[in-house]
Structure 1
Amino acid sequence: MDIQAIHRVQLPFPPALRQQVARFYGELLGLTSMPPPAGAVLRYAARGQRVDLVATEAAPPPPAGLTQLSFEVQGLPQLRRRLLAAALQIEEHQALPGYLRFFVHDPAGNRLEFVEPDVD
């Protein structure tokens, strides 16, 4: 057996934040919205992978400092500027050798990591 890729990841969000979460993943991150199944799910495509966001009243707050999802991107500085322009707080205190990197929290509090290989 050889694992090839992650098919999907699922993250919780409070139903009251549906519009903010949809704007964050669709507009700010630029992920492609996909038709969701029945129920309170927002679904996005990231190339061959999928990000499902599930509305739940019982969503516990994510543990502080744990990354829930990491995206490898092209154009990290442009994404950083877009998120800062949207008044989101960027965390850049943890270096990762060989990568440019920062963290941000989505409107539901899920901590996301964004990395890009550092070719310089």
Structure 2
Amino acid sequence: MITAVGHVQLAAPPGSEEALRAFYTGVLGMAETSKPPALAARGGCWFQAGTVRLHLGIEAGFRPARKAHPGLRVTGIEAYAARLEARGASVTWDELPGHRRFYCADPVGNRLEFLEPGERPRP
């Protein structure tokens, strides 16, 4: 029986680790975690926030997926979106009944969705 997602793997081009680290730690606020030595030799990097784990693996000939993406639950989505924008990330709000959500791309073009249950406040 499946009980949880262990991690989500995203791809990235060779040599992008420093840009990924800057984004996932400095912009998103995640912590980098150590890769096992046998896997570290392949490049890439791993990040974690609470129980959410994202692994960025290096892929020759990388092209970011146009639709595939992780959906990341957040709290305080308005403040979180403002944090990302203040750190240079572009945020695109989108409608989803029963949720507030936006999309953002990492520095290599991976699509990331951020959502929080609840309705978007009406002006």
TM-score after normalising by structure 2: 0.83
Extract unaligned runs of 5+ from structure 2.
none
The equivalences for 1:28-43 within 5 A come to 28-37=27-36, 38-39=40-41, 40-43=43-46
Q: Equivalent pairs: percent with the same residue? A: 33
- Alignment deviations for residues 14-58 of structure 1 (CA, whole Å, 9 cap, x no partner): 233221211111121111211113220211123234211012222
How many positions carry a matched residue from both structures?
116
Would you say 1:14 and 2:17 are equivalent positions?
no
Would you say 1:23 and 2:22 are equivalent positions?
yes
State the shift of 1:72 in Å.
0.2
Give the Cα separation in 1 of the matches to 2:84 and 2:92: 11
CA RMSD of aligned residues (A): 1.7
- Alignment deviations for residues 61-81 of structure 1 (CA, whole Å, 9 cap, x no partner): 312xx1411100112112111
Give the Cα separation in 2 of the matches to 1:19 and 1:75: 28
Give the Cα separation in 1 of the matches to 2:8 and 2:80: 21
Extract unaligned runs of 5+ from structure 1.
none
Please say which of residues 10-19 and 95-104 is displaced more in the overlay.
10-19
Q: Structure 1 stretches (4+) deviating beyond 3 angstroms?
A: none
TM-score after normalising by structure 1: 0.85
